[in-house]
Amino acid sequence: MNLFLIKVRNTKSKPVKKNNILYILLAFLIVINVVFIFMILQKPQKNRKHPGDFMAQELQFDDAQMEKFEILNENHRKKTRAIHRNIKRLKDQLFSNLSTELVDSSIIDSITDLIGQKEKEKDIATFYHFKAIFTICDQKQKTKFNKIIKGALHKGPRRQHPPKH
């Protein structure tokens, strides 16, 4: 009879130990997940740089130039964001016609012409943005500026290609 009581007591204490181990393991996994989420959310913000930061660093703008540069950049970003939104809206409109049985080619031509006009508008805005940056440079910086622009033009646009299957 004493043996039975010992076994009953032992079987009751084992699940408690297993539960404690599971609770500890669960708490550990939650902590690890929180740490990973924190790291993932913080990483892009640390490494986020605007394309103009490279140019400002390379040209070594003084404080007055940097203030003008930041104003130019902010205005340019606002303008190009609006253009990008328009292009996206037009492309959505264009590709919404994929499911249409009979597509009116004049509508497609009209939409793609509008997209082309917006792309032109974006290129013109970018040209004048760089022209404005050029005007705040001193003579030494203008020489370096021309080299940076020439190098960027020869590299061409950075395009993202779809993943290979």
Q: Does residue 164 register a pLDDT over 60?
A: no
The predicted-structure confidence for 34-82, as pLDDT tens digits, reads as follows 888 877 777 654 455 666 778 888 888 999 999 999 999 999 999 999 9
The confidence score (pLDDT) of residue 5 equals 46
Closest CA to 115 of 100, 101, 152, 123: 123
Closest CA to 142 of 51, 59, 56, 71: 59
Closest CA to 133 of 51, 55, 50: 55
The predicted-structure confidence for 80-125, as pLDDT tens digits, reads as follows 999 999 999 999 999 998 888 888 889 999 999 999 999 999 999 9
- Model pTM above 0.75: no
Closest CA to 113 of 93, 128, 129: 93
> What's domain 51-152's architecture?
Up-down Bundle (1.20)
Domain edges within the chain = 13-46, 51-152
Q: Retrieve residue 163's tokens.
A: 């993943």
